[in-house]
Amino acid sequence: MAISTRLTNTGTLFTNGKFDEITGMIVGNNLITNLDSFKSTKNNTSVWYDVSKNQYQFNLNNSPTYTVLSSSSYYTFNGTNQYALATSNYADSLGEMTVTAWIRTTTPYVARFFTIVGKTDNNEFGAGWGMTLWPGVDAAHLVLAFQTQNLGGANYTFFYQNNTSLPLNDGAWHYVAVTLTGGINGTASLYRDGIPLTVTDSSVRPVTNDSTSSHVSIGATSLGTEGLPGDIADVQIYNRALSASEILNNYNADSARYGLSPTSAVPVKREDSATIYASSFDEISIRLGSLQCNATGGADAFINTPVPAAGMFSFPGAFTVECFIYWINRRTGSNEHFIGVLQTGGFVIAHYANGFIGPATYPVTGVGNMLYNTGFGTTIPWNTLQWYHLAVTRDSSNFLRMWINGVQAGPGVTYAGSFTSGVFSAGSDYNGGTGNGANIYLSNLRVVNGAAVYNAPFSYPNKVLNPSYPGTILALNMYSNNTWPRDSSPNYYVMTTTGVVTWVTNGAFNQGNLSLKQRQLADGTLQTYWFDEKTGIT
């Protein structure tokens, strides 16, 4: 079914007269490092946190300057001794890879390398790989370059941008990307702002081994040399070569954060030969990756925030807590914690041993009994394997409601009390191993403190929940398989995991894989629509 939809210049969707809760998403498959300075640092000037599932840490050496803007942030490196260095040795001798970064610099022409991202102690003679600005195309310009090389630099692959009319040191923000195919002796493609560059290959092959003990570094080599004076905002590393349309997708997904407009779409073809134009959401099915939180033999698995600010999850007034779950099977005779702060007096959404779903305090006494025993909760059939959207809201009149798939469950109840604040977890209680784990698939969740998002029956919401809703203090949107759930609320919590937490996609549940596509109609207008890759239904 087609819907009246258009993309706004900020990358959001305007659907049927209202703003939709979808925002730009970078490609998640094979993403091994995701350094997002806006979402993962929390004003940190000593550590830059990786928000991919690997959770690498990068130490920030000699205190680069951290600047926060309304929708983006960045580090400023001085080009002499400031840089970020991974604490783990990884990304070595990759058969295929993609390296991307948002950069801004006005550094003038100097006859040396300027390191953007690399894994080497010397871009001229050190083993490893590097994405750099390079001065060698003429005696006046810096251009994008990439190399892999043996120790000593005798053999190497080297690729550089040969068009100096597309500068990268003009003081504007630019998205630079390199993809390597065919291994360390393969071919590299270079991109500027999502568009392929004309590349010169001046390699001396074969490169027999580019392994190095150097760690991945940003803004300079691993020794702090060959630094880039300027701003670096986001860095992603993939262990595969992204396609041209995926590079464009990533540029379009984040371009508005840096005051830039999306680049023109890339046409692709479907089996019916209709022309489909890739929007910033196309080519990467919006695969709503989920966490499988297994709880077997009393060993719970869960994800949780670090210790939050005092009172963060106490909910003294209006609030909304919501998530998507897919029940695998019920744990006999046990309470099952879905999401919440499961400690004495904490708020949770859970399934109780008596069969009710609802909010409660823990232990399940007092307020907890009052809520579900007065008909607040409801029962879900155990043999119904499907996705459920669960939400609990309290409005400004202190009226608590439980919602299941947009329908109010039970009459609700008035309760004006606060709840105990603590670590917020999903899949089990934060203590772990106490038998409160749930055998569920967990998808996107959101916590809003200060507002009841839902006050009347509503349509089953999109699974991408708006992290910019006023009062949002936690928002985990699991965009795609193997993408660690990043908190995209202003708190930018780095989630940790305990126990067996595995990744799946909606295809495992016959839910389909939705893509947002755009096609040209006979009259020449563009129509945006949802397309189910599994069933072919639009």
Tokens 């609990």 correspond to: 392
Q: Is there a single domain that holds both residue 422 and residue 493?
A: yes
Domain termination residue (choose one: 206, 226, 242): 242
In a domain, 249, yes or no: no
| Average pLDDT of span 365-387 | 56
Q: Which residue has the higher pLDDT, 285 or 246?
A: 246
Supply the DSSP symbol for 184.
G
CA angle (162 as vertex; 160, 164 as ends), nearest 5: 120
First-to-last C-alpha distance (Å) of the chain? 5
- Distance, CA of 50 to CA of 312 (rounded, Å): 24
Q: What is the pLDDT of residues 191-213, one digit of tens each?
A: 999 999 999 999 888 887 777 88
- Distance, CA of 216 to CA of 218 (rounded, Å): 7
**257 within 8 A of 393, measured Cβ to Cβ:** no
Q: Which residue has the higher pLDDT, 192 or 342?
A: 192
Q: Which residue has the higher pLDDT, 470 or 3?
A: 470
pLDDT at 514 over 60: no
Q: In this structure, what CATH number is given to the domain that contains residue 43?
A: 2.60.120.200
Which residue segment(s) compose the domain that 117 sits in? 31-242
In a domain, 260, yes or no: no
- Distance, CA of 324 to CA of 157 (rounded, Å): 47
Domain termination residue (choose one: 216, 242, 268): 242
**pLDDT at residue 112, rounded to an integer:** 92
In a domain, 264, yes or no: no
Q: Is there a single domain that holds both residue 220 and residue 326?
A: no
**278 within 8 A of 27, measured Cβ to Cβ:** no
User: What's at 437, amino acid-wise?
Assistant: G
In a domain, 318, yes or no: yes
Locate 397 and state its tokens: 């009149």
Q: What is the pLDDT of residues 258-291, one digit of tens each?
A: 888 777 543 332 222 232 322 222 222 233 455 6
**pLDDT at residue 275, rounded to an integer:** 29
Cα separation values, 531 from 121, 266, 516, 527, Å: 47, 18, 6, 12
**pLDDT at residue 520, rounded to an integer:** 54
- Distance, CA of 43 to CA of 508 (rounded, Å): 39
Q: Is there a single domain that holds both residue 238 and residue 294?
A: no
Q: What band does 295 get if pLDDT is binned at 50, 70 and 90?
A: low
Locate 67 and state its tokens: 């600047």
In a domain, 172, yes or no: yes
In a domain, 163, yes or no: yes
In a domain, 20, yes or no: no
Q: Is there a single domain that holds both residue 296 and residue 236?
A: no
Closest Cα partner for 341 from 432, 403, 415, 426? 426
Q: Which residue has the higher pLDDT, 258 or 380?
A: 258
User: What's at 192, amino acid-wise?
Assistant: R
Q: Is there a single domain that holds both residue 428 and residue 485?
A: yes
User: Which helix (DSSP H) or strand (DSSP E) does residue 367 occupy?
Assistant: helix 367-373
Q: Is there a single domain that holds both residue 56 and residue 197?
A: yes
Q: Is there a single domain that holds both residue 224 and residue 297?
A: no
Q: Is there a single domain that holds both residue 296 and residue 238?
A: no
- Count the domains in the chain: 2
Beta partners for residue 496, in sequence order: 304
Q: Is there a single domain that holds both residue 345 and residue 196?
A: no
With left for phi above 0 and alpha for psi between -120 and 50, is residue 366 left, alpha or beta? left
Average pLDDT value over all residues in the chain: 74
Per DSSP, the residues of 232-276 read EEEEEEESSPPPHHHHHHHHHHHGGGGT-PPPPPPEEE-TT--EE
**pLDDT at residue 11, rounded to an integer:** 31
Q: Is there a single domain that holds both residue 318 and residue 419?
A: yes
- Distance, CA of 148 to CA of 119 (rounded, Å): 10
The dihedral of CA 493, 499, 505, 511: what is its sign? negative
Closest Cα partner for 193 from 277, 278, 261, 112? 261
- Distance, CA of 465 to CA of 287 (rounded, Å): 14
Q: Is there a single domain that holds both residue 350 and residue 432?
A: yes
In a domain, 516, yes or no: no
Q: Is there a single domain that holds both residue 222 and residue 342?
A: no
**pLDDT at residue 29, rounded to an integer:** 77
Cα separation values, 253 from 9, 10, 256, Å: 11, 9, 8
Q: What band does 397 get if pLDDT is binned at 50, 70 and 90?
A: very high
**pLDDT at residue 91, rounded to an integer:** 79
Q: What band does 504 get if pLDDT is binned at 50, 70 and 90?
A: low
With pLDDT > 70 as the criterion, what percentage of the chain qualifies?
68
With pLDDT > 90 as the criterion, what percentage of the chain qualifies?
24
**pLDDT at residue 229, rounded to an integer:** 97
**488 within 8 A of 36, measured Cβ to Cβ:** no
Tell me if residue 536 falls in helix, strand or coil: coil
Domain termination residue (choose one: 242, 261, 278): 242
| Average pLDDT of span 63-88 | 89
Q: What band does 318 get if pLDDT is binned at 50, 70 and 90?
A: very high
**433 within 8 A of 307, measured Cβ to Cβ:** no
**pLDDT at residue 176, rounded to an integer:** 97
| Average pLDDT of span 2-30 | 41
**173 within 8 A of 106, measured Cβ to Cβ:** no
